[in-house]
Amino acid sequence: MRLVRRRLFWRIYLTLLASLVATALIMGALFWFLGQAQRELRPDEPAHHRWPPVISLYEADGRLVAAQGKQIPLPEAEPSRHWAPGHVLRVDLPDGRFALVHFEPPPGARVRGIIGVMLFVVFSVGLAAFPVTALLTRRLERLREGLQRWGETGTYAPLDARGDDEVALLARTFNAAAARLDALLAAQKRLLANASHELRSPLARLRFAAETAPSAGPARDEIVRNLGEMDGLVEELLLASRLEHQAPARDRREPVDVLGLAAEEAARFDAIVDGAPVEVLGDLVLLRRLVRNLLDNAARHGRPPTRVHVAPRDGGAELVVSDAGAGIAPGDREKVFEPFFRPGGIGEDRGGWGLGLALVRQIAERHGGTATCEAAENGGSRFVVRLAARLEAERSVRRRWTAPRCAR
C-alpha cells in the first residue's frame, strides 16, 4: 500500500530513468552509425594481437609495397585524423618505410562495450536520482497526510509551509483556506447552537400556555402538537450541535445492554422486540436517542407491526428496526440519512425525515458502527445499525469523527 500511495514519487523517478535510457540509446545509436568508437592514428598506440590485423606496407614516398588483407588507404590529411571503422596503427620502419595496421574488433565487441557503458551510466544516475526524487516528493506526501488527517478527524493542523517553491506556496494556500473554513464552520455552529437554545424558552412558555388554556378543542390540540414537534426539532438541533462540537473521547462510555435498551424504548411505541442480549461500550444517552429515532421514524412513515431485532454481530451488536409500510425507493435509501430530506410525493402534513435518521447515522459512526436502510421482506423498510465491539469502539471513534455534516 505504501508503494501505491507514492505513485507521484515513482512517476517522477521512472520518468527520469526513462529519459536517461532514451538518451543513452540515442547516443549509442549515433556512436554506432558514425563510428565514434574509433581511435586516432598515433605512432605510440598499442597493438592488440588478439584481433587478426590487416597490414599495408608503404614506401616512404607513399607507394604500396605489400598488403595483408584489404589495402588500408593512406590518410588524405595529417595522420592525426580519425580513420573509420576500427583502429589503425602506423609503424615506422628503420629503412624509411612504414606499415599501417588495422585492428578490426570481432563482431559484437563494439555493441557489448556500448551496452556496458549505457548500463553503468543508467545505474549511476539512477542511484544518484533516487534521494533527490525522494526529497522532492516527501513534502508532497506530508501535505497529503495533513489533508487526510483533516478529513478523518475534522481538526486541521497547519501544514509545513517553509520555503519559497511551489510546494510551500501550495501549503500556505491550504493553511489560509482551512483557517477561513474553520472560522466559518465555527461561526455557523455557534449560531445554530445559540438560536436553538434561545428557542427552547419561548417554545416551552407557548406550550405551557396552550396546554393550560381554558378552552379545549381541536385547534388547541393542533397547536400543542405543533409546538411539541418544534420542541423536538430544537432538541435534535442542540444534540447535533453537541455531536459536532464535542470530541468522541468526551462521551460517557459504559457497558450498554442493547436488547434491554431496545425493549424499554419499544414499549413506548408498541413495537415487538426479540433477539439475544448483547453489550456494547457506548454512551447510553446517545444510544437511547438512536433507538428512539428509529422507532419514531417507523411509527411516522411506516405501518405496524414495527419489529426490533437485536443480535450479536462480529463481536459487536446488530440492531434491526423494520416496519410494514410502503418502503423507501432504492434511490432514496441513502438520502434518508441526509438532514431534512423529503422524498417526492410526501406532503407537508406528513413531514420529512428531519434530523432523526441523520442523528442515527452520526451516533452509530460515533460508536464505530454503521447505519443503513434496506428493503424489508414484507415490502416495508428495514434499518440496520451495527455497533462495534467494546475494544474496537474505542479505536473507531477517533477515526470516524468527521467534520460537520448535519448543519446545512
Average pLDDT, integer, range 355-380: 89
pLDDT score at 295: 95
Which position has the higher pLDDT, 369 or 149?
369
**Residue 404 reports pLDDT greater than 70:** no
Q: How many CB atoms lie within 10 A of CB 360?
A: 25
pLDDT band for position 50 (cuts 50, 70, 90) = very low
| pLDDT tens readout for residues 53-66 | 788 888 888 888 88
pLDDT score at 109: 55
Lowest mean pLDDT across 196-210, 220-234, 263-277, 388-402? 388-402
pLDDT score at 162: 79
Q: Give the integer Cα–Cα distance in Å for 317 and 310.
A: 7
pLDDT score at 42: 41
**Residue 375 reports pLDDT greater than 50:** yes
Q: Give the integer Cα–Cα distance in Å for 290 and 285.
A: 9
Query: What is the separation, in whole angstroms, between the first and last Cα of the chain?
Result: 36
Query: Grid coordinates standing for 292?
Result: 428512539
Beta bridge partners of 282: 254
Average pLDDT, integer, range 291-312: 92
Average pLDDT, integer, range 331-342: 87
pLDDT score at 37: 44
Which position has the higher pLDDT, 269 or 402?
269
pLDDT score at 81: 41
Q: Give the integer Cα–Cα distance in Å for 145 and 161.
A: 14
| Helical (H) or strand (E) element with 360 | helix 356-366
| pLDDT tens readout for residues 20-33 | 777 777 766 666 65
Query: What structural domains does the chain harbor?
Result: 1-152 (no CATH), 166-242 (1.10.287.130), 252-400 (3.30.565.10)
Residue 3: alpha-carbon gap to chain centroid: 13
